Amino acid sequence: MDIKYSEKLLSLPPYLFIELDKKKKEIQQKGIDIISLGVGDPDLPTPKHIIESMKKAIEDPKNHQYPFGRGIKEFCVAVSNWYKKRFNVELNPDTEVYSLIGSKEGIAHLPLAFINPGDYVLVPEPGYPVYQSSVIFAGGNIYYMPLRKENKFFPVLEDIPEYILKKTKLMFINYPNNPTSQVADKKFFQKVISFAKEHNIIVVHDCAYSEIYFKDNENDNTIPPISFLSLEGAKDVAVEFHSLSKTYNMTGWRIGFVCGNKEIISGLAKVKDNYDSGVFTAIQYAAITALESSQDCVEESRKIYKKRRDVLIEGLKKLGLNFFFPKATFYVWCEVPKNETSMSFAEKLIYLGVVCTPGVGMGKSAEGYVRFALTVSEERIKEAIERIKKVL
């Protein structure tokens, strides 16, 4: 049989890490020890009290059936209370909160509810790859908004041509930002709201890293990061995606949520009703425990990441490498040496057993950068620095 993939599948951008993955396997087969600063997946375990709560919930047969829909009432209320406490944002748990099988799932499905052929979606680049694939699967067109150093890794909305804006239905933004680690202030968010209202654009804010932040300067009012929904008028145009993955070291559990504009949420809900059957109820109970218990475990994680960050950036400084000082996320966005591209540098590091993410893999404006994830111990980061030294 002649099996042909769909045009949509074929039009996904090429996976740029194939060559790097091959080299990584080669190195692994040679028995060389690998320090993985590539993927953004916490190495820290899920806190015990969350696991205990899951154990209890999983024993109860009423949690074994299809969960369906928005999520249990207690989960939506827990999210709404957490938003009030953390961001001073009011959310109606019955209409403005919706559970997701990880925020990736919701992000990937959302454009299916709003995009028609010919519609444009504004996508930051570099950025989380799911934004662009979600648009491709929905049959929309992508307009990339470059995040460049000279613009402090914010998109320049004035640069987007008028003829694109006429056909733009939706935009993605993400702060604290993966991969650059930039944090947004009120002024930027306010500007996005005015822009969205003027051009009738749905705003999708990905807030996956709101709890991974470092207070270095008491006067910095962008730390802790704010919610997009905390700005006046935001709920008219926006939804915000959130996840328990990074905050509570729960990437494998698959739970997140979307909140904000209820009509936008209803659109996504209709898509989801046809694609999935909700989040395992026992996991929702574990998530309630995570959101309602003491947040000391999150402070613990922040302390660990901060120490790791400091070890890495001190090391990079000594090596003479430039990087963007990370106030949030667990990434360090680092410029490659002058004579290297992001791929050539990443490749050299792999031969020494250090894995990082080459910038070009996340967008062409990110040429000249690599991303290091702080998801290994301080000792391993020190060892990585020693190895990087050999390339320079």
Residues forming contacts to ligand PLP in the complex (CB under 6 A) are 40, 102-104, 128, 174, 178, 206, 208, 243, 245-246, 251, 256
C-alpha separations of 290 from 85, 175, 229, 242, 295 in Å: 14, 22, 22, 14, 8
Q: Please, which residue, 126 or 267, has the CB nearer to ligand PLP?
A: 126
Min dist. Cβ of residue 144 to ligand PLP (A): 16
| Dihedral (CA of 155, 258, 53, 85) sign | positive
b (16+ CB within 10 A) / e for 120-146: bbbbbbbbbbbbbbbbbbbebbbbbbb
Under 8 Å CB-to-CB from 17, ≥6 apart: which residues?
357, 358, 361
Q: Please, which residue, 178 or 222, has the CB nearer to ligand PLP?
A: 178
By three-state DSSP, how is residue 272 classified? helix
Partners of 97 in the β-ladder? 259
Min dist. Cβ of residue 341 to ligand PLP (A): 24
Min dist. Cβ of residue 42 to ligand PLP (A): 10
Q: Please, which residue, 256 or 267, has the CB nearer to ligand PLP?
A: 256
Min dist. Cβ of residue 220 to ligand PLP (A): 22
Under 8 Å CB-to-CB from 178, ≥6 apart: which residues?
40, 127, 128, 208, 209, 329, 331
Min dist. Cβ of residue 179 to ligand PLP (A): 8
Which residue in the block uniquely carries the two structure tokens 């080669």?
26
C-alpha torsion angle, residues 96, 210, 133, 280 (rounded to 10):
-60
Backbone φ and ψ for 253, nearest 5 degrees, come out as -80, -30
| Dihedral (CA of 277, 280, 285, 291) sign | negative
Contact criterion met (CB below 8 Å) for 229 and 235? yes
Q: Please, which residue, 128 or 195, has the CB nearer to ligand PLP?
A: 128
Q: Please, which residue, 13 or 252, has the CB nearer to ligand PLP?
A: 252
Min dist. Cβ of residue 117 to ligand PLP (A): 26
Min dist. Cβ of residue 352 to ligand PLP (A): 26
Min dist. Cβ of residue 101 to ligand PLP (A): 8
Token couple for 224: 């802790």
Min dist. Cβ of residue 285 to ligand PLP (A): 18
Q: Please, which residue, 168 or 375, has the CB nearer to ligand PLP?
A: 375
Q: Please, which residue, 195 or 257, has the CB nearer to ligand PLP?
A: 257
Which residue in the block uniquely carries the two structure tokens 């090429």?
14
**128/167 Cα distance (integer angstroms):** 23
Q: Please, which residue, 183 or 388, has the CB nearer to ligand PLP?
A: 183
Q: Please, which residue, 182 or 388, has the CB nearer to ligand PLP?
A: 182
Min dist. Cβ of residue 202 to ligand PLP (A): 17
Strand stretches in the chain, DSSP E: 35-36, 97-100, 120-125, 141-146, 168-174, 202-206, 238-243, 256-260, 323-324, 331-335, 354-355, 357-358, 369-373
| DSSP H or E stretch at residue 57 | helix 48-59
Q: Please, which residue, 133 or 315, has the CB nearer to ligand PLP?
A: 133
Under 8 Å CB-to-CB from 8, ≥6 apart: which residues?
136, 137, 139
